[in-house]
C-alpha cells in the first residue's frame, strides 16, 4: 500500500555541510500530487525514497542504451524552481521501478536534489513525443559533471565544480542507462503542475475580486440565489455562487452600499457580473479535471522501454507520448483564460463613467490625471495576447526522427504557454483588484461587507489610493504579489467559512 507521501516531521541532518536540518517528502512513484511537487520546487523539502521504491528500483536494474550528449540546448534555461520540480518528478518516476535505472544513479539524483545542485536545462526544444528528450538529457548531463550547474552556494558554475563543492561525485552512467534517464514527460508535467497550482490560486481569488467589482458597481446579488444554481448543479457553478453569497450583502455580513440602492430599478446586471458563477464555475471544474489528469501523469512510468522485473521482461511501448499532459494543458489555458476575459470587461465597467456612474477612469480631476486608463489598456492587451496563446498547441504535430516519431504532442509548448496564460490571468485580475478598491472609495462613507472591507484594507497596506498620476506598474506588481501569495484568499476565507458555518454548511476544503 502506498501511504508514503506523507510529510515526515522528523528533522534529519543532511550529508552536505551547506545544509542544515530539512523536512522531507517520501517519493515512491505513486502518490505525488501537484501541490507537493510545487513545494519541492520551492526547495521546502528534501526527498527520501521509500523503502518499497528502493526495492523496486533495485529489482528493475538491467537493460537500456547510453545516448546523451546530443542536443545542445536553445534559449534561456528553466528557472531554479522549475528545474527542481523537473528533477523531483524524474526521481518520482524512476522510483516507480519500471525504468531499469540503478539504485546508485537514483540516489545520486536524490543527493543532488537534497543539495539543490541543479543542471542547466533549456526551456525550449521538446516536441513532447518521445518524451521530453532534450530537457531531460540536459538534466542528466549536469549530474554527470558536464555543462553547467547551479547551487545556492556557487550560483552558476561548471557542473563538476558545483558537485565537488557539495561533496558529490559526478554520475557515471551504467551501460544502457541513458535512455532510462531521458525518456519521459516530466518536463511538460512539472511545468503543468506549476500552471495548475497557480490556476487554483488565482481562480478562487477571482471570485473575491469579482465580488468587489460587483459591489463597487452596485450590482444585484439576486442572480446568485441558491435556487437558481440548484437547478443547474454543476459543482463549480454551485461553489462559486455560494462564495459570492458569502462575500456580498447578507444578514450575516450586511453591506451599506448594497442597502443604499435596494430600491433602484435595475433588475439585471451585465453578464460579466450576473454570470460569474457560470463562467468562473467552469474554470473551477476545468482546473479540477486537469488536476486529476496530472496526478495520474505525475505518478506514471512514462519512459521506454519499461522493465517488468517480476516477469524478467522488458516491453517497448508508447508511454513517453505526451498527448495526455499536452491536451490537459491546452484545456487549462482555455479554461482559466476566461477569468481574465471577464475581468477585463469588469475593469472597463469600473473605469467607464457611463457604466459606473463614477468619475471617469476612477480619478478626480480627470482633465489632469489619466487614472486607470492605461491600466485598463494593459489588461486589454494581456487578454488579447492570451487569446492567441489559447490556440491549442496539441492539435499540431510534426513528424520527427525520420518518420518513426510521426505523431508528436507539442506538449512542451502547451506547458509554456499555459503558464503564460495563467500569469496573464493573475496580472489582469491584479488590475481589476486595484480598480475595484479605488472605485469603492468613491462610495464612502458607505461601507461594504466585512470580508470585502478586509480585502480593501489588505490592498491599501501595499498600494495607496490613486489621487494623482504616478507610475502604475509598481502598484500592479504589488497587487500581483498579493495574488501569487494568495493573501486575498487568506484574508477573506475566515469570513466565508463563518458564513458557511452559520448556514450549517461544511467549511471550505483545506488546501492539499
Ligand atoms: C536526502 O535528505 C533526506 C532528509 O534530509 C534523507 O533522509 C535522505 O537520506 C537524503 N538522501 C540522500 C540520497 O542523501
Ligand atoms: C525513448 O525515446 C525514443 C525517441 O527519442 C523513442 O523512440 C524510444 O522508443 C524510447 N526508447 C528507446 C529505447 O529508444
Ligand atoms: C480547483 C478548485 O478550486 N476546485 C474546486 C471547484 O469546486 C469544488 C466544489 O464543487 C471544490 O471542491 C474544488 O476545490
Q: Would residue 273 count as lying in a domain? A: yes
Count structural domains, the chain: 2
* Whether residues 164 and 200 fall in one domain: no
* Whether residues 177 and 205 fall in one domain: no
Does residue 197 contact residue 482 with C-beta atoms inside 8 Å?
A: no
Sheet containing strand 155-158, edge to edge, reads 118-119, 148-151, 155-158
Distance 296 CA to ligand 1 centre (A): 25
Q: Which residue is it, cell 456612474? A: 357
Q: Would residue 485 count as lying in a domain? A: yes
Does residue 89 contact residue 132 with C-beta atoms inside 8 Å?
A: no
284 in ligand 3 pocket by Cβ < 6 Å?
Answer: yes
* Closest ligand 3 atom number to CA of residue 235: 10
The rounded distance, in Å, linking the Cα atoms of 436 and 443 is 11
* Whether residues 174 and 224 fall in one domain: no
Element (H, E) at 456: helix 450-462
Q: What is the DSSP-derived secondary structure letter of residue 251?
A: S
Distances (CA, A) of 464 to 264, 441, 456, 460: 32, 12, 11, 6
Does residue 480 contact residue 197 with C-beta atoms inside 8 Å?
A: no
Does residue 411 contact residue 323 with C-beta atoms inside 8 Å?
A: yes
* Whether residues 272 and 135 fall in one domain: no
Distance 324 CA to ligand 2 centre (A): 18
* Confidence at residue 179, expressed as pLDDT on a 0 to 100 scale: 59
Ligand nearest to the CA of 63: 2
Q: Would residue 248 count as lying in a domain? A: yes
Q: Which of 239, 294, 486, 500 to mutate to test the pocket of ligand 3 (most atoms within 8 A of CB)?
A: 239
Q: Which three cell numbers stand for residue 351?
A: 473605469
Ligand nearest to the CA of 115: 1
Closest CA to 168 of 153, 190, 187, 178: 153
Helix, strand, or coil (residue 366) = coil
Q: Would residue 178 count as lying in a domain? A: yes
* Whether residues 132 and 105 fall in one domain: yes
Sheet containing strand 7-13, edge to edge, reads 7-13, 21-27, 46-49
Q: Which three cell numbers stand for residue 91?
A: 526521481
Distance 131 CA to ligand 2 centre (A): 8
Distance 510 CA to ligand 3 centre (A): 11
| CB-based pocket (< 6 A), ligand 2 | 65, 130-131, 133, 179, 183, 304-305, 316, 320, 405
Question: Which protein residue has the closest C-alpha to ligand 3 atom 12?
Answer: 509
The rounded distance, in Å, linking the Cα atoms of 478 and 40 is 25
Ligand nearest to the CA of 302: 2
How many CB atoms are located within 10 Å of the residue 302 CB? 27
Distance 130 CA to ligand 2 centre (A): 6
68 CB contacts (<8 Å, ≥6 apart)? 137, 140, 141, 144, 173, 178, 182
Burial class, 247, CB count within 10 angstroms (exposed 0-12 / middle 13-18 / buried 19+): buried
Q: Which of 133, 159, 184 is the last residue of a domain?
A: 184
Listed as ranges, residues in the chain with pLDDT below 70 are 1-21, 57-75, 124-133, 175-184, 262-267, 401-403, 512
CA triplet 140, 142, 143: central angle to 5 degrees? 65
Does residue 90 contact residue 49 with C-beta atoms inside 8 Å?
A: no
Does residue 122 contact residue 77 with C-beta atoms inside 8 Å?
A: yes
Q: Would residue 334 count as lying in a domain? A: no
Distance 63 CA to ligand 2 centre (A): 13
The predicted-structure confidence for 426-443, as pLDDT tens digits, reads as follows 999 999 999 999 999 999
Ligand nearest to the CA of 236: 3
Does residue 299 contact residue 4 with C-beta atoms inside 8 Å?
A: no
Q: Would residue 510 count as lying in a domain? A: no
Helix, strand, or coil (residue 161) = helix
Ligand nearest to the CA of 48: 1
112: domain CATH number is 1.10.275.10
Q: What is the DSSP-derived secondary structure letter of residue 122?
A: B
Distance 27 CA to ligand 1 centre (A): 11
* Confidence at residue 401, expressed as pLDDT on a 0 to 100 scale: 66
150 in ligand 1 pocket by Cβ < 6 Å?
Answer: no
Helices 323-351, 373-389: crossing angle, 10 deg rounding: 160
The predicted-structure confidence for 62-83, as pLDDT tens digits, reads as follows 333 333 344 446 567 889 999 9
Q: Which three cell numbers stand for residue 268?
A: 439585471
Question: Which protein residue has the closest C-alpha to ligand 3 atom 10?
Answer: 235
* Whether residues 205 and 228 fall in one domain: yes
* Whether residues 211 and 98 fall in one domain: no
* Whether residues 137 and 235 fall in one domain: no
256 CB contacts (<8 Å, ≥6 apart)? 446, 447, 448
Q: Which of 167, 184, 201 is the last residue of a domain?
A: 184
* Closest ligand 3 atom number to CA of residue 203: 3
23 in ligand 1 pocket by Cβ < 6 Å?
Answer: no
Q: Would residue 368 count as lying in a domain? A: yes
The rounded distance, in Å, linking the Cα atoms of 342 and 276 is 8
338 in ligand 3 pocket by Cβ < 6 Å?
Answer: no
Report the largest interatomic distance among the alpha carbons of the chain, rounded to a whole angstrom: 80
* Whether residues 180 and 235 fall in one domain: no
* Whether residues 261 and 359 fall in one domain: yes
Domain enclosing residue 495, as ranges = 192-304+340-383+419-502
The rounded distance, in Å, linking the Cα atoms of 19 and 9 is 17
* Confidence at residue 243, expressed as pLDDT on a 0 to 100 scale: 97
Question: Which protein residue has the closest C-alpha to ligand 2 atom 10?
Answer: 304
Distance 405 CA to ligand 2 centre (A): 9
β-strands 21-27, 46-49: how paired? parallel
Distance 325 CA to ligand 3 centre (A): 20
- Region of 176 on the Ramachandran plot (φ > 0 left; ψ -120 to 50 alpha; else beta): left
* Closest ligand 1 atom number to CA of residue 114: 1
* Whether residues 224 and 366 fall in one domain: yes
* Strand segments (E) across 32-83: 46-49
Q: Which of 184, 218, 233 is the last residue of a domain?
A: 184
Ligand nearest to the CA of 11: 1
Q: Would residue 297 count as lying in a domain? A: yes
463: domain CATH number is 1.20.200.10
Amino acid at each position: 500500500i502506498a501511504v508514503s507521501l506523507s510529510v515526515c516531521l522528523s528533522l534529519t541532518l543532511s550529508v552536505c555541510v551547506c545544509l542544515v536540518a530539512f523536512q522531507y517528502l517520501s517519493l515512491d512513484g505513486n502518490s505525488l500530487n501537484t501541490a507537493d511537487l510545487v513545494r519541492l520546487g520551492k526547495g521546502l523539502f528534501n526527498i527520501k525514497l521509500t523503502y518499497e521504491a528502493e526495492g523496486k528500483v533495485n529489482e528493475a536494474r538491467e537493460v537500456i542504451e547510453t545516448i546523451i550528449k546530443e542536443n545542445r540546448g536553445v534559449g534561456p534555461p528553466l528557472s531554479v524552481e522549475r528545474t527542481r520540480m523537473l528533477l523531483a518528478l524524474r526521481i518520482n518516476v524512476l522510483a516507480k521501478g519500471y525504468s531499469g535505472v540503478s539504485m546508485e544513479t537514483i540516489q545520486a539524483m536524490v543527493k543532488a536534489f537534497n543539495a539543490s545542485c541543479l543542471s542547466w536545462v533549456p526551456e525550449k526544444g521538446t516536441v513532447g513525443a518521445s518524451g521530453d528528450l532534450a530537457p531531460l538529457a540536459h538534466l542528466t548531463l549536469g549530474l554527470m559533471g558536464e555543462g553547467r550547474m547551479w547551487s545556492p552556494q556557487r550560483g552558476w558554475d561548471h557542473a563538476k565544480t558545483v558537485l565537488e563543492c557539495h561533496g558529490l561525485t559526478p554520475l557515471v552512467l551504467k551501460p544502457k542507462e541513458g535512455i532510462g534517464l531521458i525518456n519521459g514527460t516530466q518536463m511538460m508535467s512539472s511545468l503543468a503542475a506549476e500552471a495548475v497550482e497557480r490556476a487554483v490560486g488565482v481562480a478562487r481569488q477571482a471570485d473575491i475580486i469579482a465580488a468587489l467589482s460587483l459591489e463597487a458597481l452596485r450590482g444585484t446579488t439576486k442572480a446568485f440565489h441558491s435556487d437558481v444554481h440548484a437547478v443547474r448543479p454543476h459543482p463549480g457553478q454551485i461553489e462559486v455562487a455560494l462564495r459570492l453569497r458569502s462575500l456580498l450583502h447578507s444578514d450575516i455580513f450586511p453591506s451599506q452600499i448594497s442597502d443604499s440602492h435596494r430600491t433602484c430599478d435595475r433588475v439585471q446586471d451585465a453578464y460579466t457580473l450576473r454570470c460569474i458563477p457560470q463562467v468562473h464555475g467552469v474554470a473551477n471544474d476545468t482546473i479540477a479535471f486537469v488536476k486529476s489528469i496530472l496526478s495520474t501523469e505525475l505518478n506514471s512510468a512514462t519512459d521506454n522501454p519499461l522493465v517488468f522485473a517480476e516477469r524478467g521482461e522488458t516491453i517497448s511501448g508508447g508511454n513517453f507520448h505526451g498527448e495526455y499532459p499536452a491536451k490537459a494543458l491546452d484545456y487549462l489555458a482555455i479554461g482559466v483564460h476566461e477569468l481574465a476575459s471577464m475581468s477585463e470587461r469588469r475593469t472597463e465597467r469600473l473605469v467607464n463613467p457611463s457604466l459606473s456612474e463614477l468619475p471617469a477612469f476612477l480619478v478626480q480631476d480627470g482633465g489632469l490625471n489619466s487614472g486607470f486608463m492605461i491600466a485598463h489598456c494593459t489588461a486589454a492587451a494581456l487578454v488579447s495576447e492570451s487569446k492567441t496563446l489559447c490556440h491549442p498547441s496539441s492539435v499540431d504535430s510534426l513528424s520527427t526522427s525520420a518518420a518513426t516519431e510521426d505523431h508528436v504532442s507539442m506538449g512542451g509548448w502547451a506547458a509554456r504557454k499555459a503558464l503564460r496564460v495563467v500569469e496573464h490571468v493573475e496580472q489582469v485580475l491584479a488590475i481589476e483588484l486595484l480598480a475595484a478598491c479605488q472605485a469603492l472609495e468613491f462610495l464612502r462613507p458607505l461601507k461594504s461587507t466585512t470580508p470585502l472591507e478586509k480585502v480593501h484594507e489588505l490592498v491599501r497596506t501595499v498600494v495607496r489610493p490613486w489621487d494623482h498620476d504616478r507610475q502604475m506598474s509598481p502598484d500592479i506588481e504589488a497587487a500581483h504579489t498579493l495574488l501569487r501569495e494568495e493573501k486575498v484568499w487568506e484574508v477573506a476565507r475566515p469570513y466565508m467559512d463563518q458564513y458557511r458555518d452559520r448556514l450549517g454548511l461544511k467549511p471550505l476544503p483545506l488546501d492539499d
